[in-house]
């Protein structure tokens, strides 16, 4: 039984407390509390606001692109949607199966062979044991590992690791697909093949949220674009409209 | 919020878990407790992952060595032999009386001190995973537990060998070790969550914890016997490490159950679990920011 996929985000803010230097220290915290400085400390605590007052809703069929400069909050927003960061303000509600393609080497261990890594990923995803052989076959075929499947990953070339990570990440078909831009890297011949596979996963997903600098990809895949700037939504609307505004600003800045 | 599993036997490519996430800022304590409880339940449901990760930790640590984790057994054995020969003389005790006691104590203490020190890195070691996929935090506590229980299982060989040499087998009373071990597992998980979380937030706790355990080793009857303390032995139950050591060690040495020891063990465990729960309810959602 599958629920209807949906995402609702209301007035969400996420801030990172900066634990550099002394804030990491128990000694300093205790000393501050003992001298009565803690209260003041809490109010003046240095935080980086990664997302501020972000709100939108997505329903089945929506294809959202997130654009903005580095540090605009795109990845933080993806992590918030994936349930990794819990917001300090506002409300996030996500229904449906999620696959977040954030880290290509998630849970991989370079000392284990390809097959073991595939099984481990299956466990991370909570897949039952019965589907693991099929997962291994699917991934091995796509990543073209051949005999390397039974060798430790540290013997792989960089390209093979990318292929394995990509194949693993895309072997799982979710209702909600959250993608960071890492997977758009890779050599040209692989990219052609990867694109087919990725497109199949994207087509199969009810909701896509994609964070990228590659505007062409956004234009091809997304029906709606949110432009983030310093953690806030600067613009939200149909792809063409927002992209033209974004490009216009980039040109005027240059 | 929770992970609901989807039937995947019929789907061609594996499907992801269906998740219902509902977060709101300024949650009530009841809502936070529910999230924390779900975290624990989901973690338990992923026991196969925890088991595999814990087992891999051991395997990869001893990768390429012929004896593998049995190096642990050998080093514990050598240590027990050396300490045993020395301290039996220092304490003027018969080897047949002292060595079985020492082997058992040393192995059990090794578990306690390893668990405490590895608890500190429970979450920080899993940083990469925590920041790239939503996982119940409890899985990582289970992983640390599994890893340390496996080490304990390898060291048990030393106890068996020493007991066989001195023919010191306990009777059926040794079965009373089961409630003691159950309490250990409970406390181990609580301590792992508490220390793992605190150490993620405050990076200077690890050396504090390690030096406390160092002191604990000397003030707890691990290599010396409680009886050697004479009249002061009555104060020993005030040491939580003693109570917890004794609920497992006592039955194996064939000593009668001590109500005071069990009372102490239960009170200290109760305090630990309460503190951990209060901490986990608040810290669970923040761990991803801390690691």
For residue B151, the model assigns a pLDDT of: 93
pLDDT digits (tens, 9 = 90+) for A3-15: 789 999 999 999 8
Confidence of residue B6 (pLDDT cuts 50, 70, 90): very low
Count of CB atoms situated within 10 Å of the CB of A202 = 17
Q: Which of A48, A126, A198, A199 to mutate to test the interface with B (most CBs of B within 10 A)?
A: A126
> Smallest Cβ distance to A86: which of B9, B23, B132?
B23
pLDDT above 90: percentage of residues in chain B: 66
Contacts 24+ apart (CB under 8 A), A116-125: A117/A153, A117/A164, A117/A168, A118/A168, A119/B52, A120/B52, A120/B53, A120/B56, A121/A168, A122/B14, A123/B46, A123/B48, A123/B49, A123/B52, A124/B49, A124/B129, A124/B133, A124/B135, A125/A172, A125/B14, A125/B16, A125/B17
Average pLDDT of the residues in B132-159: 94
Tell me: pLDDT of A216 over 70: yes
Dihedrals phi, psi of A205, to nearest 5 degrees: -85, 145
Dihedral angle at the C-alpha atoms of A79, A82, A88, A91, nearest 10 degrees?
Answer: 140
On whether the CB atoms of residues A224 and A64 are closer than 8 A, the answer is yes
B13-17, B92-96, B186-190, B256-260: least confident range: B13-17
Tell me: pLDDT of A157 over 90: no
Tell me: pLDDT of A213 over 90: no
Confidence of residue A40 (pLDDT cuts 50, 70, 90): very low
pLDDT digits (tens, 9 = 90+) for B179-195: 999 999 999 999 999 99
Average pLDDT of the residues in A104-126: 85
For residue A127, the model assigns a pLDDT of: 81
Tell me whether residues B3 and A126 touch, CB distance under 8 A: yes
Average pLDDT of the residues in A99-109: 83
What three-state secondary structure class fits B175?
helix
The interface predicted TM-score of the complex, written ipTM, equals 0.85
Is residue A225 packed enough to be buried (19+ CB in 10 Å), middle (13-18) or exposed (0-12)? buried
A42-46, A97-101, B9-13, B188-192: least confident range: B9-13
Question: pTM for this structure?
Answer: 0.88
B157/chain A closest Cα distance in angstroms: 28
Average pLDDT of the residues in A211-231: 91
For residue B2, the model assigns a pLDDT of: 41
Q: Is A140 on the interface with B (CB under 8 A)?
A: no
pLDDT digits (tens, 9 = 90+) for B251-286: 999 888 889 999 999 999 999 999 999 999 999 989
For residue B8, the model assigns a pLDDT of: 38
Average pLDDT of the residues in A82-106: 88
Which chain B residue has its CA at the smallest distance from A132's CA?
Answer: B14
On whether the CB atoms of residues A153 and A139 are closer than 8 A, the answer is no
Select the more confidently predicted residue: A211 or A44: A211
Tell me whether residues B3 and A107 touch, CB distance under 8 A: no
A58-67, A111-120, B10-19, B170-179: least confident range: B10-19
For residue A254, the model assigns a pLDDT of: 65
On whether the CB atoms of residues B57 and B147 are closer than 8 A, the answer is yes
For chain B, the farthest-separated pair of C-alpha atoms sits apart, in whole angstroms, at 72
Query: Which residues in A77-124 belong to E strands, given as ranges?
Result: 89-101
For residue B192, the model assigns a pLDDT of: 97
Tell me: pLDDT of B1 over 60: no
Confidence of residue A2 (pLDDT cuts 50, 70, 90): low
- Distance between CA atoms of A21 and B149, rounded to whole angstroms? 35
Average pLDDT over all residues of chain A? 84
For residue A32, the model assigns a pLDDT of: 65
A171/chain B closest Cα distance in angstroms: 6
Angle at B286 between CA B281 and CA B290, to 5 degrees: 135
For residue A39, the model assigns a pLDDT of: 46
For residue A170, the model assigns a pLDDT of: 85
Average pLDDT over all residues of chain B? 89
For residue A188, the model assigns a pLDDT of: 66
For residue A23, the model assigns a pLDDT of: 63
- Distance between CA atoms of A7 and B255, rounded to whole angstroms? 61
Tell me: pLDDT of A142 over 80: yes
- Distance between CA atoms of B144 and B166, rounded to whole angstroms? 34
Q: Is A93 on the interface with B (CB under 8 A)?
A: yes
pLDDT digits (tens, 9 = 90+) for B186-242: 999 999 999 999 999 988 899 999 999 999 999 999 999 998 988 998 899 999 999
For residue B268, the model assigns a pLDDT of: 97
A43/chain B closest Cα distance in angstroms: 17
For residue A125, the model assigns a pLDDT of: 82
A199/chain B closest Cα distance in angstroms: 15
Tell me: pLDDT of A224 over 90: yes
């Amino acid at each position: 039984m599958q629920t209807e996929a949906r995402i609702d985000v209301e007035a969400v803010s996420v801030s990172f407390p900066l634990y550099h230097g002394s804030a990491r220290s128990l000694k300093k915290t205790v000393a501050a509390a003992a001298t009565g400085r803690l209260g003041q400390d809490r109010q003046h605590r240095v935080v980086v606001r990664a997302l501020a007052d972000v709100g939108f809703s997505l329903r089945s069929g929506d294809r959202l692109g997130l654009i903005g400069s580095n540090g605009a909050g795109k990845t933080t927003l993806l992590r918030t949607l994936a349930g990794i960061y819990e917001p300090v303000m506002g409300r996030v509600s996500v229904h449906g199966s999620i696959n977040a393609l954030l880290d290509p080497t998630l849970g991989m261990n370079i000392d284990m062979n390809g097959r073991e890594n595939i099984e481990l990923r299956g466990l991370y995803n909570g897949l039952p044991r019965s589907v693991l052989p099929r997962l291994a076959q699917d991934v091995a075929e796509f990543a073209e590992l051949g005999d390397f499947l039974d060798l430790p990953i540290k013997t792989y070339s960089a390209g093979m690791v990318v292929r394995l990570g990509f194949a693993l990440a895309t072997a799982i078909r979710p209702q909600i697909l959250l993608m960071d831009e890492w997977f758009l890297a890779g050599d040209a011949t692989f990219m052609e093949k990867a694109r087919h596979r990725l497109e199949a996963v994207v087509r199969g997903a009810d909701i896509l949220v994609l964070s990228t600098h590659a505007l062409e990809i956004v234009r091809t895949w997304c029906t709606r674009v949110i432009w983030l700037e310093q953690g806030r939504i600067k613009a939200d609307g149909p792809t063409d409209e927002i992209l033209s505004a974004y490009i216009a600003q980039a040109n005027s800045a240059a | 919020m929770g992970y609901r599993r989807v039937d995947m036997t019929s789907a061609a490519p594996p499907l992801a878990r269906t998740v219902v996430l509902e977060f709101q800022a300024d949650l009530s304590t009841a809502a936070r407790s529910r999230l924390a409880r779900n975290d624990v339940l989901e973690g338990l449901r992923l026991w196969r992952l925890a088991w595999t990760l814990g087992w891999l930790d051991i395997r990869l640590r001893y990768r390429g060595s012929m004896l593998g984790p049995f190096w642990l057994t050998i080093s514990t054995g050598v240590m027990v032999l050396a300490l045993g020969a020395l301290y039996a003389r220092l304490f003027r005790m018969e080897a047949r009386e002292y060595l079985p006691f020492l082997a058992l104590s040393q192995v059990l203490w090794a578990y306690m001190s390893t668990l405490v020190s590895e608890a500190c890195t429970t979450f920080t070691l899993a940083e990469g995973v925590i920041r790239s996929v939503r996982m119940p935090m409890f899985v990582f506590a289970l992983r640390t537990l599994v890893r340390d229980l496996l080490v304990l299982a390898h060291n048990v060989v030393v106890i068996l060998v020493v007991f066989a040499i001195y023919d010191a087998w306990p009777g059926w009373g040794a079965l009373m070790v089961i409630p003691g071990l159950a309490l250990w597992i409970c406390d181990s998980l609580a301590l792992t969550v508490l220390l793992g979380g605190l150490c993620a937030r405050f990076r200077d706790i690890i050396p504090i914890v390690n030096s406390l355990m160092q002191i604990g080793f000397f003030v707890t009857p691990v290599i010396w016997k409680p009886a050697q303390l004479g009249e002061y032995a009555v104060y020993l139950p005030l040491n939580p490490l003693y109570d917890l050591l004794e609920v497992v060690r006592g039955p194996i040495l064939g000593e009668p159950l001590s109500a005071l020891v069990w009372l102490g063990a239960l009170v200290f465990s109760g305090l630990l679990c309460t503190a951990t729960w209060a901490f986990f309810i608040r810290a669970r959602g923040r761990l991803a920011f801390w690691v």
